[in-house]
Structures are given as C-alpha cells and as structure tokens.
Chain A
Amino acid sequence: MPVFRFTVNGGAREVDTFPDRPLLEVLREDLQLTGPKFGCGEGQCRACTVLLDGVPASTCVLPVRSAAGKRITTIEGLARGGALHPVQQAFVDEGAMQCGYCTPGMILRTVALLERAPAPTRAQILEALNGSLCRCNGYPRIVAAVEFAARLKRGAAQKQEGIHAAK
C-alpha cells in the first residue's frame, strides 16, 4: 500500500493505506481523531468537516490520496494551549449545540467563513452554512453563535452577551 504524508494539527503524520479510503476513516481509525464525525457518506451534511490548507472539506467523500502533502486541521487542533478558539468560545457562550454531533463541523465551517468574511451578514451565514446539517435543528442558536464569534474575533465583544437572558 502507498504511504501518504500530511500535517495533522501541526504534526507530521504518515499513513500506509489504500489510496481511495475516505480521509474521515483514516483520521478516525488510524489517527484516533474522532472529532470529525460520520453523518452521511455523501458530502451532504458536513459533520465530517476538516480544514485542508485552511479550506473546509467534507472528508467522508474525500479519498486520503487527495490530502497528501496538505495541512489538515481537525476540531481537536483548534484550541491553542487550553484556550478555546473564539468560534469555539462563541458556540459555548451561545449554547449553540443540543446533541453536539454536528458541532465540530459547524465550528470549522464557521472558522473558514470568518476568514473570508470577518463581519458576515445573516444572509452570508445562512448561505455559507446551508450545507451543514443539524438534526436537533438548533440553527437559530448556531446563527447567533456565528454572529457572536465574528464580534469576538474582531475584538468587539468580550463575553456572552446574554441574548437569551435578555429576552
């Protein structure tokens, strides 16, 4: 079997495996990174999202060979030295999870969105995340978290602004 090399959450890794194995399964089964989740196997729900050279990818339909030489960031690699990434913090503060299974994918898609649109409109958020499914249907809280994450990242907010509590 061929050997594939890539960087995962900052560390060099190599795997010796079948080239058409989905990257998701290599991450979960060979590298014990279970943050990316299986949701559909057809790129329709994005629970399996990772960042490939900073670009979000659905790894359930991505052959491992396509990741060769790339920089992979999974949800496990987002927090730095115990400090949550602002998007993670925003999801905590806004309660943007029910069962939490879609959360890693939602967060990584949001990270990518805020890189290209630091102050996204509501329409941009809906558009960017429309392919990400949440079956608890916690979409309203996720939108709130994305909006809050954008403010956190821009330094325009410090902590939970109590959107629920204010109501």
Chain B
Amino acid sequence: MPRNETFEPDRFELFEPPLYRFEITRRHWLESLGAGWLLTCFAQDSSGQGRGESVEARIHLGDDGIITVLSGKVEEGQGPRTELVMAAAEELGVPLDRVRVILCDTARTPDDGITAGSRTTPQTVPAVRRAAAAARGWLTAEKRLIENPGLTEPGQWKILGRGHWRIDAREIVTGAHRFPSDIVREGMLYGCVLRPPAYGARLEGVDVEAAKKAGAAAAVRDGDFAGCAAATSYAARKAMEAMAATAKWSGGQNHNSANLFEHLRATAKEKVEPLPGRTHRAEYRTAYIQHAPMEPRAAGAEWQGGKLTVWTGTSNPFSVRNDLARAFGLRPEDVRVIVPDFGGGFGGKHTGEAALEAARLAKEAGRPVKIRWTREEEFRWAYFRPAALIDVEAVVEGGKIRAWQFTNYNSGAAGLQTPYAIPNRREKYVPADPPLRQGSYRTLAATANNFARESFMDELAAAAGADPLDFRMAHLDNDRIRAVLAAAAERFGWKQRRAARRPPNRGIGLACGTEKNSVVAACVEVEVDPKARTVRLVEIVEAFECGAILNPWNTRSQVEGCIVMGLGAVLREEIQFENSRLTNARFSQYRVPRFRDLPEKMDVILLDRKDLPSAGAGETPIIALAPAMAGAVFDATGSRPRSLPLRW
C-alpha cells in the first residue's frame, strides 16, 4: 500500500499574482460555525499553491463576532495556526481573540496544497491576508467588501511582527488537545497491521482466522495487506501475534548499510566525468536518517453510508484524500480527511499509510478503527531522508575558485547550486537505486549539499592558506548571505578567536547558506574526545534572515529547534540495515538529540528585513550546523570529517 514518495519541488514556484474577486453571502454555514457571512474568493488559484477549486471559502464572519479563517494547511509544530490567526487579525483590525482558524478538513477548508517547503509563510499567509483585508470593509459601518485591498505595510503592523506563542497552548499543557492518535469514536476498535520481515518481501499466505480465534473482532487480508482489529490495542497485538505466526513470505531485498555508498555509486544513473587538469577533490557521505516524530503515524477511520471520514496526521491531506478515494473506488468528495494538529512531521508525513490501513480495517469491521504505528513501525516503514554521496571538485587559481563541479548522488537537488560567485560551474543531481524508501525531510537535500559544499569551501580555504571567513567573503556577492555571515562572525568573535590559541581539543568553524528564500550562517566551537573520536557542541551563534519576520518568537523557536535537530545527524543518527532489515529501529539504539546534547551557549540572531517578503523559517536554519561543526573538528584535530554523522 505505501507508495513511493516523489520529491516535492525543491523551490517554491513564482506565480503570476492571481486575480481576485471576493463575494460575501449570508450563510448559516456548517453547523459548527453558526450564522454569519461567508467570504468566498474567486481566483485562478487563490492560495497560490492549491490544486483545488477556484472558489474558496476563506473567512466566516460570525454573527457572534467570532471570525473564522479557513485554511487547508495543517499544524505540526512549526506554527502556521498562530501565524494565520495573526495575519487575519492584522488585516481585519481586530484583536487576536476574535479570530480562530480551522485547519485542514477537506470537506470545509480550501485546498492550500501540501504543508511543506516553507511555503505557508510566502503563499498561504498572503492569501489569507488578502481575504481578511477585503473582509475588513464588511466590519465597518459601510458593510461592503474592499475591492483589490492593499495589505498593511510591515512598518504599520500592530500584530504581525510581534512575538506570540502558540495560540492553543492551554489545550496542549492541559492534555485537552486531541492529536490524531487520541481520536475516539463510538464503538471504535484498535487495529494492527501485519508487517513483512524485510523490505520487498511478498505475502504468500496468512490465516486470518487465527487472529479471530485469538480475539480479533475483524481480520482481513487484501493482497499484501493484512491486519486485524480488536477492542483494545492489547487484544489487537495478541491477535496479530497469532496471525503473524501463520504468515508465509517470499522474496525480499538484501541491501546492507555496510556497503551503502558503494551501492549508490555502482547504481548511479549517470557517470560524471571529472574536471580536467589539476583539481582539488573530495567525496562526502551522509547516512540515511529517520524523522522519528514524537507522534507515530496514526489515523482513525469511520465509514457511514458508503462515505469515509478519516482523522489523521499528514502534511498532504488533499493528496491523502485522493489516495483513499482511489484505493476504495470512491469519489473524492465522498472521502473526508480531517487533520487535527499533530505531533511532528519534519517532512516525514507527506503520505497517508495509517489512513489507508485504518480505512481498510474499518471497512472490514463495519466499525470505526484506529491505527497508531508503533515506534518500530515508524522507524521501519516510514520513508527516510535519503543518504547522499557527493563528489566535489574545484580548480583554484590565485586564491579564487575558477571552476566547480558538484555531483549529488541519490539525495536530491535542493541546495545543489553554490551561492558563491564562480565563473565555471557544473552542478548535478544524479539519481541512484535507493536501497530504502526515501522522501522529504526538513530542507530536503539542502542539508547534505550544504554540508559538502561548505566543508569543501573550508578545504579550499585551508589549501589557499586563507581564513574560512575571508575565503567565503571573497567569493560572495549575495548581500543577504554576507550580512548573516558577518553578523554571526562578529557576535562570535571569529577574528579574535581564530587568531587566539584554542584550548586543547577545542576548535571553531563556520558555515553559511541559503535555501527557500532565506539565509543562514553559523559559527561554532566544539570539543572533541580524541580517543573516542566523538565531538560535542560547546557554543553556537547562528544568524538567520527570512525577510520581514511575522512572529519573532516562533521564528527563534524554529531556529533553535532546527539547530538541535541538525545536531542529531551530526553526532549519531544513522539508519543501519542488514539484508534490508533495520537493525536500530528503536530510540535506545538510534540516539536522537537529548537535553544533555545542548551546547553551553546558543545565541540566535534574527535579522528582520521589513523591506523583503516574508519567507518560511522552519527549515533553512538546519543547514549551517553540520559543516560548521565539521570545520571545527578539523580546526581541533587537523583531520577532515567528510561524513554525517561526523567521522574522522
């Protein structure tokens, strides 16, 4: 059932500004909203990225004074719910507590596309602001919509641009919020799915009656899918154990992480000729890693009169709705996908496996069924951030890079292009045969590509006898990157610390980059343990700029979260597999960052550019850490780490 994840577009598209026509109608609309006025928006593509209808209900002005904003985006922790409330309140000229947001419910909200690629801020926020600005006229004595409304200039903002914490924080701290895995429906059963012993294994036979005899209320086999449902998770597990004991499997792949990079090179779809002449060259590697969101995939499914409703945690709800419709031969309008704010995704929940599984079991059982993956399932059966094999070559003359060749095998094209001014460049993404199911992850391949590019910039600087900061600046004509690099270096005291003697086993490093229309730079100090060959982050100063900042508190949180998340892949995170079976599919074996990994000092500098359009902040801040730490390890040891996790 899981389908191959295709890469999302690496960069958001530039669209012609859509033509808008707003219309307001008196509607007693959808019982939960009560009586009021519904603002619809006629546009070719009113969200700027949705694939849906041209008529979209955006804002409901309730007779009770409550204003409801409708968006097909989802909340998984990066803050769109609060951001959209702020955006609407700003343009409506009302306090925050008069605005609420209904996020994705495919039966009620517009299709705003996938929640990914840092696109909520540059695309959905403006769409909501335009609708709110039009609706503002309705709140005045004149009671008319404002045609072609202008948006409030950042300098005039009263709500945007100021710090606000998560709008529904109280529901979170009291345990009142219902995550997808918390959904309860009348008569609901708990489901379990039969999993293959290895990737690619086919189910030859299974006795579903064994599950029923062991207490399952329902059990089904449908092709390679088999599962059961029971009154409790405990009973479902017991029934599944009985059923799994009868399963017969054939085939299965036999990939091994031990020869992962040899495999990627051997299966590369294209051979890239090396640059001619005397070149510097290096190979970089990044491991497969897993998103491991705190809430594993979960879904509750309920059938009524041939129609299907699913509550699930996915970043791509309209696509999941269509998957469900296809899978069960339904019209898309007969499938409703509701996405409660869920427990993390980081690019890992663009699919709807649990929704399909729950729906199949609910169909069989004739009762609602909830599926919540185990942690082991989440490790094994969710898609991974692809491993990368990266070749970089350069020709340096007179302290300047004259030619540059950069090839990413397998992991993707995000962040492939160097932001440095280099006259001759060849940058290429070459697919290979991936041994694991792979897909999106926070900033996609930009983390791997920035790691390789920035590490190699350090190598070239060392070869040229230049300071890594000066060497970068000498090749940078992007003023935004220069600004963050300068800001981070100054706060860190790069020049002074570079000139001073470092304590034993301490080193400093820096890196910069750009992605999703935002820019970042980091300076770090690390401490290495020369015997164990491990490294610890001691200090980081990271400067980030994403245009006009909408919510500085959340932006800071995202930067901090990205830094610490990035630390996991730098220090330890690495999926290991033998014969296409994961061997470290647990938190006790796959060590994600913990409190004690925090650096002693973390200094985040936000550069607020009110003259630039707002860009998202949930991804790019992750890309600078790894190469900065690699550079710092070299500074401390004289050896170059060229892999993630860092090894030297």
Contacts and interface: CB of A to CB of B under 8 A. Distances in A.
Interface of A: 18, 21-22, 25, 28-30, 32-42, 44-45, 47, 74-76, 78-79, 84, 88, 91-95, 97-104, 107, 125-127, 129-143, 164-165, 167
Nearest to B343: A101
Contact of A136 (B233, B344, B595, B596): B344
B553 interface: yes
Interface in B271-305: 291-296
Interface string B310-342: 000000000000000000000000000000011
Contacts of A36: 175
A135 B170 contact: no
A38 B563 CA distance: 25
Interface stretch (B58-66, B257-265, B585-593): B585-593
Contact of A129 (B79, B374, B588, B595): B595
Interface string B168-186: 0110111111110110100
Contact of B173 (A33, A103, A133, A167): A103
Contacts of B586: 40, 42, 44
A30 B79 CA distance: 33
Contact of A101 (B163, B179, B568, B598): B179
A74 B174 CA distance: 9
A99 to B, nearest CB: 3
Contacts of A130: 594-596
A139 B190 CA distance: 33
Nearest to A78: B174
A95 B166 contact: yes
Interface in B587-609: 587-588, 592-596, 598, 602, 604
A95 B332 CA distance: 38
Contacts of B296: 38-39
Contacts of A101: 179, 293-295, 342-344
Nearest to A60: B375
A103 B170 CA distance: 11
Nearest to B568: A137
A12 B77 CA distance: 36
B234 A25 contact: yes
25 contacts: A28-B182, A32-B184, A35-B175, A36-B175, A38-B372, A40-B587, A42-B375, A75-B175, A76-B174, A76-B175, A98-B77, A98-B561, A99-B77, A99-B295, A100-B169, A100-B172, A126-B596, A135-B565, A135-B592, A137-B562, A137-B565, A139-B564, A140-B602, A141-B557, A143-B598
Contacts of B553: 95, 164-165
Nearest to B565: A137
